[in-house]
């Protein structure tokens, strides 16, 4: 599921949303975009090469964007290679961070799990995710429409290439991984929407309580999830530069 509130279930349905969203591109319709692209010298030939004719349509735009995004596969990180040889190339600090990530103590993997280190169908918060799609207030509108329904619920994102995707958290409050780790280490505060995972047996917020080296180790492990090959692939560079 895609977007912070998991409202879209496929790339094909997702790619046209930013075009018409008033906060992002703000176009009236996909038809307006189709007309704009059709007037450019360079797009009709590309559409003809891909589809056989130069017509620019909403369906073709969506399919082209979907295929492009689907080609961005990240599976060449240090962590991926490590799985093949028992992480022999990991430094001692990275191994420590890996141990913490999957431990009962830190419980990072209780949310960020699986091959993509995510749980896209398990929004956080105390409501169990039953009403999250299409209702969560993401805090971007001047006037809120849902009166708090779904407040505190956001899709759990993938941690792959996390070192390259700052700022962090749903509201972009942190600029570094160190700040994110410190937030979970000492910054969790009591709140009526706090996820049960972060509440201890005594009812107080559960914090990691890591020391300086352990925090550095966790950051070091997160950086092993970076796929440098994907980042440097010329196919994904800006074609207009």
pLDDT tens readout for residues 158-216:
999 999 999 999 889 999 999 999 999 999 998 887 888 888 899 999 999 999 999 99
Q: Which two tokens stand for residue 211?
A: 């020391």
| CA 165 – CA 120 distance, rounded (Å) | 17
Q: With the CA atoms of 203, 205, 209 and 210 taken in that order, what torsion angle do they form, in degrees rounded to the nearest 10?
A: 130
Nearest CA-CA partner of 62 in 31, 107, 25, 95: 31
pLDDT at 196: 84
**What does the mean pLDDT of the chain come to?**
86
Nearest CA-CA partner of 183 in 173, 193, 191: 173
| CA 100 – CA 185 distance, rounded (Å) | 12
pLDDT, one tens digit per residue, over 19-43 is 998 889 999 999 999 999 999 999 9
In the chain, list all ranges with CATH 1.10.760.10: 76-120+157-241
pLDDT band at residue 143 under the 50/70/90 scheme:
low
pLDDT band at residue 9 under the 50/70/90 scheme:
confident
Residue 156 is given by DSSP the state B
* C-beta of residue 65 within 8 angstroms of C-beta of residue 71: no
| CA 24 – CA 27 distance, rounded (Å) | 9
The fold of the 76-120+157-241 domain, in CATH, is Cytochrome Bc1 Complex; Chain D, domain 2 (1.10.760)
pLDDT at 138: 54
Within 13 Å and on the Cβ side, how many CA atoms surround 168?
A: 18
- Examine residue 193 and say whether the peptide bond preceding it is cis (omega within 30 degrees of 0): no
Name the burial class of residue 153, with classes exposed (0-12), middle (13-18) and buried (19+) by CB atoms within 10 angstroms of its CB: buried
Q: Which residue has the higher pLDDT, 43 or 129?
A: 43
Q: Is this prediction's pTM over 0.85?
A: no
């Amino acid at each position: 599921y895609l977007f912070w509130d998991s409202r879209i279930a496929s790339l094909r349905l997702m790619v046209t949303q930013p075009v018409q969203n008033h906060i992002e591109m703000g176009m009236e319709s996909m038809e307006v975009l189709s007309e704009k692209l059709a007037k450019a010298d360079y797009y009709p030939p590309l559409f003809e090469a891909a589809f056989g004719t130069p017509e620019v349509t909403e369906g073709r735009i969506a399919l082209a964007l979907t295929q492009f995004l689907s080609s961005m596969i990240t599976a060449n990180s240090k962590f991926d290679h490590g799985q093949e040889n028992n992480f022999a190339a990991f430094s001692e600090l990275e191994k420590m961070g890996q141990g913490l990530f999957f431990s009962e103590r830190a419980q990072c993997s209780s949310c960020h799990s699986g091959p993509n280190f995510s749980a896209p169908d398990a929004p956080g918060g105390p409501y169990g995710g039953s009403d999250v799609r299409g209702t969560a207030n993401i805090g971007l509108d001047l006037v809120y429409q849902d009166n708090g329904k779904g407040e505190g619920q956001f899709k759990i994102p993938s941690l792959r290439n996390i070192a390259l995707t700052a700022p962090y958290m749903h509201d972009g409050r942190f600029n570094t991984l160190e700040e994110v780790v410190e937030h979970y280490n000492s910054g969790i505060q009591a709140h009526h929407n706090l996820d049960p995972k972060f509440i201890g047996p005594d009812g107080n917020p559960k914090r990691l309580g890591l020391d300086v080296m352990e925090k550095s180790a966790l950051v070091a492990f997160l950086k092993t999830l970076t796929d440098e090959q994907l980042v440097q692939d010329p196919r994904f560079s800006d074609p207009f530069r």
